[in-house]
Structure 1
């Protein structure tokens, strides 16, 4: 099956642990994972990984992508440097292409107005309230939330984030296999392994 690539945003201080389950399993089922940075200059993650972006953000087009993933980063809360990535998320959603935002990226897209009219979650309601957004009534106390093409999650839920992305894309795991994948990696349920590999 031919699929468009999945684009993983990378920028200085990005939280490298938040998207590992997502990108690893998407790659395993045949998605090309392409990194997109502010430019093609190397960036350094919170964990000290040096990453060379494959694509500069100005060259990213929704029509060339299956999904845009925005990981958390200290920069979401300390500067406006990542605002262009929130604007890219708006372009993706306007084009009907899914966006996944986790941790600090939820605050960035909140400032862009993307959570005002969509169900969402994050680290905590007060964290997003500090962004000045208007979507507090749509906040959901859940590990991860999907509303149409937008998936959000808090910083402690990379497995739930991946599950929601797999469910939204629809061609990674389905039905009981998706449930089994989540139970195996989130709950350490050994019984789920047999279902997942059946």
Structure 2
């Protein structure tokens, strides 16, 4: 089975928590419908190491500049103050290339500000931290803004910074990563913490396991 890559763009000051559910969901095979079908590839501008908002040092596998949308399955853009300060322009150029190639882009929190500033939300339904937050970019997509924890419109996924679980779920659905029962139980567990969803997740995994084989 071919393994496809989800490109995660990292930069100094990125908001750690906003991708905290996305990366293990893609990397850990336990819950997945087709284990090994996807992996995360971490890239930065110039392939340089970065330090997150939480002080974690990240060593990318590659550079933004060498990333080819034709060889990837999705681009994920975490939030951080750099977007609001006019930074990460190279990542926005790459996002435009991904969308032109029909490859999905997922942005959360400040990354939605960048996507709006680049005109990539002018004709797509979307959400963000607040309607007024995006209006400050001067973009033309205000009529398509939705008050929601996450929105998928075609190849674009957006979410506010306070909705990392919803953001992850929309990404998982777009990648067809989990079966629907597993996705529903996973979301219920991490969104609410209620024990019945833990039991439902275990049950969904058991039903989805191949006969006579380990999950």
**2:198 match:** 193
Supply the distance in 2 between the matched residues of 1:197 and 1:148 (Cα, whole angstroms). 31
Residue aligning to 1:8: 8
Counterpart in 2 of 1:135? Answer: 141
* Pair 1:165-2:171 in alignment: yes
SS at match of 2:65: helix
Q: SS where residue 32 of structure 1 aligns?
A: strand
For residues 37 and 162 of structure 1, the distance between their equivalents in structure 2, rounded to whole angstroms, comes to 21
Q: Is the 8 A contact 1:89 1:99 kept in 2?
A: yes
Give me the CA root mean square deviation: 1.0
Q: For the Cα contact (< 8 Å) 1:39–1:53, is it kept in 2?
A: no
Partner Cα separation in structure 2 for residue 110 and residue 121 of structure 1: 10
Work out which of the residue numbers 28, 33, 36 in structure 1 matches 2:40: 33
Q: 1 CA distance for matches of 2:194 and 2:156?
A: 28
Q: When the two structures are aligned, how many residues end up with a matched partner? A: 196
Q: TM-score, normalised by structure 2?
A: 0.88
What secondary structure sits across from 2:79 in the alignment? coil
Give distance in 1, aligned partners of 2:174 and 2:188.
18
Runs of 4+ in 1 over 4 A off after TM superposition: none
Please say which structure displays the higher CA radius of gyration. 2
Give 1:49's aligned residue. 56
TM-score normalised to structure 1 length: 0.96
The residue matched to 1:122 in structure 2 has which SS?
coil
